[in-house]
Structure 1
Amino acid sequence: MLQAIGHILPIALAVAISSVPIMATIVILLSPRRGASAAPFLIGWVLGMVVLVVITTLSAQAVPTPRSDRQPATAVGIAEIAVGAALIVIAIVSWRRARRNPVDGMPAWLGKLTSIGPWSAFGLGAALNIRPKEILLAIAAGLAVRGAGLTVTESVIAIVVYTVIGASTVAVPVIATLVDAKGMQPRLLSMQEWLGRNNRVVTSLILLLVGVFIIGSGIARL
């Protein structure tokens, strides 16, 4: 199980550093309606993450694995190589877009979140999991669980670790702001400014590194 968690940790960190949910969180927390919308957004984000990784983990059970530990998990390895390559492609495309069209500030659509209601915030949090990057990362996590041949209990523990780490960068600011909104405001503004300048580059770099890691994991299974 520890080996599987070791494979899942960098994948979960890539989810945690995903810039879009973090930027959406910051906008909601700086809005006048944060008291009504922040918690539903967090719940939607976590619930969507759990549902997605459970689906991908269950789907990964269809990938054949060897009956003996001495035999290579070829199918899992090939699937991981494909997922890692797809993440690298996304990273390169994002990097090229950042260089061609440098953007200083948050995407325009995030400005609409200042008046978002609780149900819309919940739906947005859940929907942000249904993006190519998040889906690929969840598939990679499911393959890591499948490749390790975990029991049901061990798989649940691995999914909990993935979810806790992946949701941490949204959960911590939300909880901290609901506890001390005045104290968190300068930090949120500073983070918003930094992400507005660097979110594409950071996302590209993280996806590139995680993609290489997943490909390496796949090659090791062959």
Structure 2
Amino acid sequence: MYANPEASSWVEIGDAMGQALLQLIPLALAAALSSVPITATIFILLSERRSRSGLGFLAGTVLGTFATVALATVAGHALPGRPREHGALVGKLEVVIGIALVLLGVVTLARRSRAGRGSGPGWLDSIATFGILPVFGIGLALSLRPKAILLAAAAGLAIVRVDLVFHGNLVLVVFYTAIATCTVGVPIVATILFPRRMEPRLLAAKGWIAAHSSTVGATMMIVIGAFVIGVGVSG
């Protein structure tokens, strides 16, 4: 009997894909639990323009997230060096990104403890009055926050590490984007379909986020940063 090389290649692709998914899931969850886009979503959905503005914000968030991870993946593939040197460089970059995430989480916790319970950025109070194009732009801009960029860079390096073909890379980028934006997309779609049922839930979520989201998000950044450092060190 002869081994089927085509079947063997599919097994290798599946193993590499599974490895990448395991690394992408915690990164995407950390992005999904970011307090700023969730809070912006709630403010928009509690406004009179929730349908149009919500869809505009969702489109900007999805497009911005997809673009940052895709660009990080392209940049990772463009890193110089032979395959072995390339892998070592990816590992070093992952360590640097992991350290940056940990430091960002520590700084956020320190600011939270000094400031006490905050009300969030001032522009969030007026986001409900913005039109569809401004909220679309805000959705795009939120993907350029330091936390979002660091997580997208870590995701791009995780995709580069498994070295798949274009279609495999695209599936992984879409997978990350879907999870990272689900906390924006699901409430928007649910509120458009069931506005009366969702309104009390949105009000309850708004109060909880104001009290706890910064601490939860900062703690998760520290944990995810340590995870990224571990991946980079282990190679």
TM bucket (normalised to shorter chain) is over 0.9
Match of 2:99 in 1: 85
CA separation in 2, counterparts of 1:119 and 1:67?
A: 44
1:110 corresponds to which of 124, 138, 147: 124
Contact 1:45/1:167 (8 A) holds in 2: yes
In structure 2, the partner of 1:14 is 30
Q: Which residue of 1 aligns with 2:70?
A: 54
Within a 5 Å distance, the mapping from 1:1-222 to structure 2 comes to 1-64=17-80, 67=83, 73-221=87-235
CA contact (8 A) 1:40 1:121 kept: yes
Normalized against structure 1, the TM-score is what?
A: 0.95
Q: CA deviation at 1:105?
A: 3.7
Tell which structure's C-alpha radius of gyration is larger: 2
Name structure 2 gaps, 5 residues minimum. Answer: 1-16
Same amino acid, percent of matched pairs:
39
Aligned-partner Cα distance in 2 for 1:117–1:76: 41
Structure 1, unaligned runs of 5 or more: none
CA contact (8 A) 1:28 1:37 kept: yes
| One-letter code aligned to 2:122 | A
Q: Give CA-to-partner distance per residue, 1:27-69, whole Å, 9 cap, x none.
A: 000011112201000000000111111111100112347546x
CA distance in 2 between partners of 1:57 and 1:35 (Å)? 33
Paired residue total = 219
Q: Which letter does structure 1 place at the counterpart of 2:183?
A: T
> Does the 8 A contact of 1:65 with 1:76 survive in 2?
no
